[in-house]
Amino acid sequence: MTNETATRRPVVRSGIASALVPGLGQFLRGQRYRGVGILIGFLVMLVTVAWYKDPAWYAVPVLIWLWNVWDSISLARNRVRSVLLPVLIGLTAAYGIGWQVVGIDFSNADMNRAVNAVLRPMLHPDFIQSRREHNQMWVQVQVPCSSEPPKALREDGGKTATVIPDCGPVGETLIVSVSGMWPDTETNVLWRTPIGDPKMVGEGESQMLVVTTDESGSLTTTIRVPSTALVAAPDPTLPQFHRVYFDQYRPIGGYELSFIGNEVLKGALDTVAMALLATGLGMVFAIPISFLAAHNLMGGNPITYSIYVVVRTLLNILRSIESLIIAIVFVKIVGLGPFAGMLAMALHSIAALGKLYSEVIEGIDPGPIEATRATGANWIQTVRYAVIPQIVPPFTAFTIYRWDINVRMATIIGFVGGGGIGFLLIELIITNNMRGVSTVFIAIAVIVMVLDYFSAKVRERLV
């Protein structure tokens, strides 16, 4: 009986201690880290749950508290319990809160829109198109009517286009006809104002009017003078000549780059070149700086060592600022455009390459230097034969790797007006050209993959 109480008393005492202050029982048993850890974990959970004000989550600190009492009692009986259980409880709570904060809610997403306006066009990247030839005809119409409007008739190379009546105010119905075009071909009918502004004349003035010619190459259709035909006119009462265009296209075999394809290709080249320039500039400045940041060269006396510390600190600070942010600052200084992006990348490259280069210099093997000096070589010969062969391959490898990083960075920096393919991408997203966006995605993926592959190959050979 006495024996039993003697063993039971510390067990109970431990349990009570942990029940009062989580972790206290464990702490008093000598498991200090465990005790403090439990207390901190419990408090963090409690504060977090209290913060988010969702009563259901109070179950989590309660569960941890229960586990803690059980653990304390087990410990008093000399059994160490795994901490997996409270860690899992804590993680569950963290994920749950994360879920709430992010607001994962698919009901908001318009699936129809996602498929029709985003995903479907993205499956048809706009890069190449079949080569087409173009057949065009136009005729002039006076809007509004003057007292003696000229005949709305035009003949050109066997093609004839007419409009009846010859003139009309905004909203007037016109009969337009054309002959001598390609037979049985879809023809776009388009209105252009005197300054060349295109106006659609199809459904609701928002769609292209498309009419198919008959077997003799003629078509006749009715249009209305577009309601916006005169918005840009300085004086809407002044009669002016507008035009009705008829455009036909037909494939002539083969493919060519589409307009977007051309832009993407140009943007991609811009980006790669911009990254190359930034890397080159970074390298030029990083090489001398890296010598100042090499411990083995600068550690000798207090003056050089203080230079080393300053340079190292500057490099570390520069490196820790994302180049996107530096780019925004440069946009403020030198204005929007590739120059700002290039400067930002160059600055970041100086910091990154400076650090990497200096580590190469620190890791140099003094043996060959000693051996070369021993042959009677002079100082510059020693540098050429014992130092340069040791640092050039890793320098090159790091530089190529940096270029690789800069190309990726350049696409992002383009977003803030840094030019190149990133700038094109943001333009395409704003104008909702999802086919173009998808082309850019593919182009970026291809550039990055190709560069990644080659830089890995080159580095493999060099290092």
Measured CA to CA in angstroms, residue 199 lies from 177, 244, 259, 329 at distances of: 18, 10, 21, 41
Binding another protein (rule: CB under 8 A), the pick from 195, 376, 430, 460 is: 376
Binding another protein (rule: CB under 8 A), the pick from 124, 131, 151, 384 is: 384
Q: Write the Ramachandran bin of 153: left for phi over 0, alpha for psi from -120 to 50, otherwise beta.
A: beta
Q: Least distance in Å: CB of 461 to another protein?
A: 11
**Residue 104: is it exposed, middle or buried by C-beta count within 10 angstroms (0-12/13-18/19+)?**
exposed
- Can residue 335 be called a binding residue for another protein (CB under 8 A)? no
Query: Which C-beta is closer to another protein: that of 196 or that of 367?
Result: 367
Per CB under 8 A, the segment of 14-22, 308-316, 342-350, 375-383 that binds another protein is 375-383
- Can residue 194 be called a binding residue for another protein (CB under 8 A)? no
Question: Distance between CA atoms of 443 and 432, rounded to whole angstroms?
Answer: 18
Q: Least distance in Å: CB of 346 to another protein?
A: 28
Pair 133, 247: CB distance under 8 Å: no
- Can residue 461 be called a binding residue for another protein (CB under 8 A)? no
Question: Distance between CA atoms of 92 and 442, rounded to whole angstroms?
Answer: 38
Fill in the DSSP letter of residue 180.
S
**Count of residues that interact with another protein, criterion CB under 8 A:** 20
Query: Which C-beta is closer to another protein: that of 256 or that of 370?
Result: 370
Question: Distance between CA atoms of 391 and 159, rounded to whole angstroms?
Answer: 73
Binding another protein (rule: CB under 8 A), the pick from 385, 408, 415, 458 is: 385
Q: Least distance in Å: CB of 370 to another protein?
A: 6
Query: Which C-beta is closer to another protein: that of 321 or that of 387?
Result: 387
Q: Which residues pair with 210 in a beta bridge?
A: 188
- Can residue 165 be called a binding residue for another protein (CB under 8 A)? no
Binding another protein (rule: CB under 8 A), the pick from 389, 449, 450, 453 is: 389
Q: Of 312-331, which residues contact another protein (CB under 8 A)?
A: none
Per CB under 8 A, the segment of 51-59, 334-342, 361-369, 432-440 that binds another protein is 361-369
Query: Which C-beta is closer to another protein: that of 31 or that of 382?
Result: 382
Edge-to-edge order in the sheet of strand 159-164: 153-156, 159-164, 173-179, 219-224
Q: Least distance in Å: CB of 300 to another protein?
A: 10
Q: Which of 6, 4, 5, 26 is nearest to 15 (CA)?
A: 26
- Can residue 151 be called a binding residue for another protein (CB under 8 A)? no
Question: Distance between CA atoms of 440 and 415, rounded to whole angstroms?
Answer: 13
Query: Which C-beta is closer to another protein: that of 27 or that of 401?
Result: 401
- Can residue 367 be called a binding residue for another protein (CB under 8 A)? yes
Q: Is the dihedral of CA 270, 276, 282, 285 positive or negative?
A: negative
Backbone angles phi, psi at 222, to 5 degrees: -110, 140
Residue 404-433 contact track with another protein, rule CB under 8 A, x = bound: ------------------------------
Pair 193, 229: CB distance under 8 Å: yes
Query: Which C-beta is closer to another protein: that of 331 or that of 386?
Result: 386
Interacting residue ranges for another protein, rule: CB under 8 A: 365, 367-368, 370-378, 380-381, 384-386, 389-390, 393
